[in-house]
Structure 1
Amino acid sequence: MFKRLVALLSFCLMGLSPAWSQDAQMDLQRVPLGAGMYKIDAQVALAPREREIGLMYRKEMPQQEGMLFVFEEPATQCFWMKNTILPLTAAFVADDGRIVNLVDMQPQTTNSHCSEEPVRYVLEMNQGWFAKKNIKKGLKLTGTPFAARR
């Protein structure tokens, strides 16, 4: 009987996982960023659990929104798209806001996409957003996360 209860509870919790993740995503702190003349409303994934959930299960995201992942120390950061439905582009960003590299990532894959050098920040946007705005490697993003480190 106990094993059945545990199995049922586990099944129910698995079913709630995506909804919980979406709620957790929406409650994140936000920070305004700039990319040239373009403004970005970025949710901030600061805690390990927030970074782990990221944009998983999200079905849509407005074009001017993104998610900024913040790590404690600069390091080679690698991302994948397991349980992520939206096609995204990751901008790997140095402490001063410089885009180190941009990588398009396909939904629901486990391919690893890494920074070309150690970075503390990764900004995920809808795939194609950077290309449509002609934003390339080397451009410096602006905003409070980068201002203190210039």
Structure 2
Amino acid sequence: MIRRYLLLLVLTLLAGACAAAPPPSATHVLTLHDHTFHVELATNNAQRDLGLMHRTHMAADHGMLFVFPYNAVQTFWMKNTLIPLDMLFFDKDRKLVSMQLNVPPCKADPCALYPSGKPAMYVLELAAGTAAQLDIQTGDAFSLEGPIGPVR
């Protein structure tokens, strides 16, 4: 009887964990400085809050594009983010206004804050070192294939 109860408990916990896990995001094709990236979009508060947390790796040609409903100074941190990143901040016209490069994972609280310094509506996170390797510069603009969808 106890064995059956434990099995039921384990199955219930696993089912709950699967239900709570975010579904894999579809990727969109983003072009920046003549280079193509496959990016996940973070267009609502829940997606933006989770970001790239808990990931142990990211392919060199992948990233995440955070889309905000407003153009303002954006501030990011690396809490629970396990991989170093480049953060590229773009304004409402999709032009690069600032960068935070080679941002290390946060290993203990309090985590450092990384502000855009200038108003931004989009933040692109890529593997650390990508911006330098591709010589990405302030003023570069990105294009995105397909619609972004609703932003909340």
TM-score bucket (shorter structure) = 0.7 to 0.9
Q: Please say if 1:66 is aligned against 2:66.
A: no
Question: Segments of 4+ in structure 1 off by > 4 A?
Answer: none
Gaps spanning 5+ residues in structure 2: where? 1-12, 148-152
Tell me the CA shift for residue 84 of structure 1.
0.4
Percent identical among aligned pairs is 30
Tell me the CA shift for residue 116 of structure 1.
2.0
Gaps spanning 5+ residues in structure 1: where? 1-11
Using structure 1 for the length normalisation, give the TM-score: 0.77
Larger RCO (CA within 8 A; separation ≥ 6)? 2
Task: Report if the CA contact (8 A) 1:76-1:117 is conserved.
Answer: yes
Give the distance between the partners of 2:45 and 2:36, measured in 1 at CA: 26
Give the distance between the partners of 1:52 and 1:62, measured in 2 at CA: 21
Which residues of 2 match residues 108-127 of structure 1 at below 5 A? Answer: 108=106, 110-127=111-128
Out of 81, 84, 93, the residue aligned to residue 84 of structure 1 is 81
* Structure with a larger share of its residues in helix: 1
- RMSD of Structure 2 on Structure 1 (CA): 2.3
Tell me the CA shift for residue 143 of structure 1.
1.8
Which residues of 2 match residues 48-63 of structure 1 at below 5 A? Answer: 48-63=45-60
Give the distance between the partners of 1:51 and 1:93, measured in 2 at CA: 16
Q: 1:85 to 1:20 in 2, by over 3 A?
A: farther
Amino acid at match of 2:112: N
Tell me the CA shift for residue 139 of structure 1.
0.9
Q: How many residues align?
A: 129
* Structure with a larger share of its residues in strand: 2
Task: Report if the CA contact (8 A) 1:28-1:45 is conserved.
Answer: no
Larger Rg: 2
Q: 1:48 to 1:116 in 2, by over 3 A?
A: same
Deviation by residue 1:60-112 (Cα, 9 ceiling, x = unmatched):
01100000001111111000001100000100011211111110211015111
Give the distance between the partners of 2:67 and 2:37, measured in 1 at CA: 16
